[in-house]
Structure 1
Amino acid sequence: MALNNFMHPRNIYRSPPDFAKLAATYPEFKCISKLDLSGKVTIDFKDPKSLRILTKCLLKSDFNVDIDIPEDKLVPTLPLRLNYVLWIEDIMTAIKRIENIQGLDIGTGACAIYPVLAAIKNKWHMIGTETDEDSVKKAQENIKNNNLESLIKLTKTPSSTIISYALDEEKDQSFDFCMCNPPFYSSVQDLCDSRNPTRPPPKNAFTGSPQELITEGGELNFCRKLITESHKYKDRVKIFTTMIGHKYNLKELVQDLSADEIKFTHTEFCQGRVTRWGLAWTHQDYDIYKLIGPRDKLRKKNTPIIYSLPKLSDCTYNVETCTEKIRSIFKSLDVEYKILNKIGNKFTMQFTAIKNTWSHQRRKRRLLKGVEQNNVKKMKVNDDESNRDDIHKEISHSDTIKEVDVANGNINNNAEYFKSTEPLIQAYLKVFKKDDNIFFEVEYLDGSAGKEGLHQIVQYIKNNWK
Structure 2
Amino acid sequence: MKHSRNLHKDSYPLTQLVQSYPALQPHVLIKPDGSKTIDFANPNGVKALNAALLSHYYQVKFWDMPAGYLCPPVPGRADYVHYLADLLAKDNQGEVPKGKTIRGLDIGTGANVIYPIIATRSYGWQMVGTDIDAVSIKSANAIINSNSVLTNDIDVRQQDNQRHIFSGVVKPNEYFNFCMCNPPFHQSAEQAKAVSQRKIQNLTKNKTKRGSHLSAEKQSATLNFAGQSNELWCEGGELQFIQRMIVESRDYASQIRWFSSLVSKKDNLIQIYKSLRELGITDIKTIEMAQGQKVSRFVAWRF
Which category describes the TM-score, using the shorter chain as reference length? 0.7 to 0.9
8 Å contact from structure 1 (residues 56, 69) kept in 2 = no
Q: Which moved more, 1:211-220 or 1:196-205?
A: 196-205
Higher strand share: 1
C-alpha distance after superposition, 1:66-106 (max 9, x if no partner): 21133211111111111000011111111128350111111
Aligned to 1:149: 151
State the 1:123 CA deviation.
Answer: 1.4
Aligned to 2:286: 266
8 Å contact from structure 1 (residues 242, 279) kept in 2 = yes
Aligned residue identity for 1:234: A
Q: Could you tell me how far apart the structure 1 residues matched to 2:231 and 2:258 are?
A: 24
Aligned to 1:256: 275
C-alpha distance after superposition, 1:7-53 (max 9, x if no partner): 21221222111123324553321101111111111111011111100
Residue 63, structure 1, aligned to residue 46, structure 2: no
Q: 1:84 aligns with which of 80, 84, 96?
A: 80
Residue 277, structure 1, aligned to residue 273, structure 2: no
Residue 160, structure 1, aligned to residue 163, structure 2: yes
Identity over the aligned pairs, expressed in percent? Answer: 32
Residue 72, structure 1, aligned to residue 68, structure 2: yes
C-alpha distance after superposition, 1:342-399 (max 9, x if no partner): xxxxxxxxxxxxxxxxxxxxxxxxxxxxxxxxxxxxxxxxxxxxxxxxxxxxxxxxxx
C-alpha distance after superposition, 1:419-441 (max 9, x if no partner): xxxxxxxxxxxxxxxxxxxxxxx
Aligned to 1:178: 179
Q: Which moved more, 1:135-144 or 1:203-212?
A: 203-212
| Counterparts of residues 429-440 of structure 1 (less than 5 Å) | none
Aligned residue identity for 1:280: A
C-alpha distance after superposition, 1:223-248 (max 9, x if no partner): 00000001111111110001111111
Aligned to 1:47: 42
Structure 2 length-normalised TM? 0.85
State the 1:61 CA deviation.
Answer: 0.6
Q: Could you tell me how far apart the structure 1 residues matched to 2:275 and 2:197 are?
A: 29
Aligned to 1:322: none
Give the number of the structure whose alpha-carbon radius of gyration is greater: 1
Which secondary structure does the structure 1 equivalent of 2:261 belong to? strand
State the 1:259 CA deviation.
Answer: 4.2
- Give the structure, 1 or 2, with the largest relative contact order (CA under 8 Å, sep 6 or more): 2
C-alpha distance after superposition, 1:103-129 (max 9, x if no partner): 111111112111111111111111111
Structure 1 length-normalised TM? 0.56
C-alpha distance after superposition, 1:287-329 (max 9, x if no partner): xxxxxxxxxxxxxxxxxxxxxxxxxxxxxxxxxxxxxxxxxxx
Distance 1:83 1:197, change over 3 A: closer
C-alpha distance after superposition, 1:115-146 (max 9, x if no partner): 11111111111111111001100100100111
Aligned residue identity for 1:226: M
Aligned residue identity for 2:163: S
State the 1:166 CA deviation.
Answer: 1.1
Distance 1:237 1:24, change over 3 A: closer
State the 1:199 CA deviation.
Answer: 10
Structure 2: give runs of 5+ residues left out of the alignment: 205-220
Higher helix share: 2
| Counterparts of residues 283-294 of structure 1 (less than 5 Å) | 283=303
Q: Could you tell me how far apart the structure 2 residues matched to 1:15 and 1:210 are?
A: 33
C-alpha distance after superposition, 1:178-226 (max 9, x if no partner): 1110111121112134479699525874232222111121110000000
Distance 1:44 1:265, change over 3 A: same
Number of aligned pairs?
Answer: 276
Q: 1:206 aligns with which of 213, 225, 228?
A: 225
Aligned to 1:116: 117
Aligned to 1:33: 28
Aligned residue identity for 1:15: D
| Counterparts of residues 6-25 of structure 1 (less than 5 Å) | 6-25=1-20
Aligned to 1:448: none
Distance 1:208 1:192, change over 3 A: closer
State the 1:163 CA deviation.
Answer: 1.0
8 Å contact from structure 1 (residues 250, 277) kept in 2 = no
Q: Could you tell me how far apart the structure 1 residues matched to 2:262 and 2:145 are?
A: 27
Which secondary structure does the structure 2 equivalent of 1:135 belong to? helix
8 Å contact from structure 2 (residues 104, 178) kept in 1 = yes
CA RMSD of aligned residues (A): 2.1
Which secondary structure does the structure 1 equivalent of 2:81 belong to? helix
8 Å contact from structure 1 (residues 266, 277) kept in 2 = yes
Aligned residue identity for 1:72: G
